[in-house]
Amino acid sequence: MNSLSEIFAPFKSENLIEWFDDLVTLWHETGPIEPEDHHSPKGMFQWVHYHNFKLWHSEDQARRTDLEPEKIVACKRKIDHHNQLRNDGIEQIDVWIDNVLKTAEIDPDDSVEINSETPGSIIDRLSILTLKIYHMEEQTRRQDIDRSHLELCQMRCQILLQQRQDLGVAFDKLMLDLRQVKKKHKIYRQYKMYNDPMFNPGLYSSN
């Protein structure tokens, strides 16, 4: 049986960040590619990154002022759809980790503290930061901006890169702490209500 360090090998922040970078660059050339495998670690990571990519560009379109109202509504529907699947993907990553830890018979007692953020949530944030960095760097290549705008974008790029590096360090520390039982893993259910006609009064009261 593989050790936990071997099972969690795909969860290294350096590799994740490099892969997210490569996917963002590729997808801007070819279009985003939905993973065929949603159950392996890599497939789950790509699933979250894919929906963040789709969300980012749908959010851009939804803020245009030259589109007809029905097209803005269609963008909003896409945003809700991808956000729901993104949150499902984050939860799936955390469920997968929970199953691995239980299989390895890691069962911390109540004295072990819970991290304020789950590994799935941090992976999601790394994905979003990668998109922010790509698009902020894209701003620095514009030919229609003045020097002050360029310098502002360059400064923000540096801050975003540092934030992503810091988050990567925190992520690696958390994954190590989970293996060494210094932190306790817990799944936080999203229970999003806005897409569910059972819980959104705007939906069930209109039927």
**Is the pLDDT confidence value at 3 over 90?**
no
Instruction: Compute the distance between CA of residue 34 and CA of residue 91 in angstroms, rounded to an integer.
Output: 18
pLDDT for the residue numbered 22: 98
| Its pTM surpasses 0.85 | yes
Average pLDDT over residues 138-167: 95
With bands split at pLDDT 50, 70 and 90, how would you rate the model's confidence at 189? confident
Average pLDDT, rounded, for the chain: 92
Average pLDDT over residues 49-58: 96
pLDDT for the residue numbered 174: 97
Average pLDDT over residues 49-62: 94
Average pLDDT over residues 97-124: 94
pLDDT for the residue numbered 2: 65
pLDDT for the residue numbered 205: 72
**Is the pLDDT confidence value at 178 over 90?**
yes
Tell which wins on pLDDT, 3 or 186.
186
Instruction: Compute the distance between CA of residue 203 and CA of residue 189 in angstroms, rounded to an integer.
Output: 22
| C-beta of residue 154 within 8 angstroms of C-beta of residue 140 | yes
**Is the pLDDT confidence value at 99 over 90?**
yes
Q: Helix (H, G, I), strand (E, B), or coil: what is residue 44? A: helix
Tell which wins on pLDDT, 166 or 195.
166
| C-beta of residue 57 within 8 angstroms of C-beta of residue 32 | no
pLDDT for the residue numbered 20: 98
Length of the chain: 207
Q: What percent of the chain has pLDDT over 70?
A: 95
Compute φ and ψ for 121, nearest 5 degrees.
-65, -35
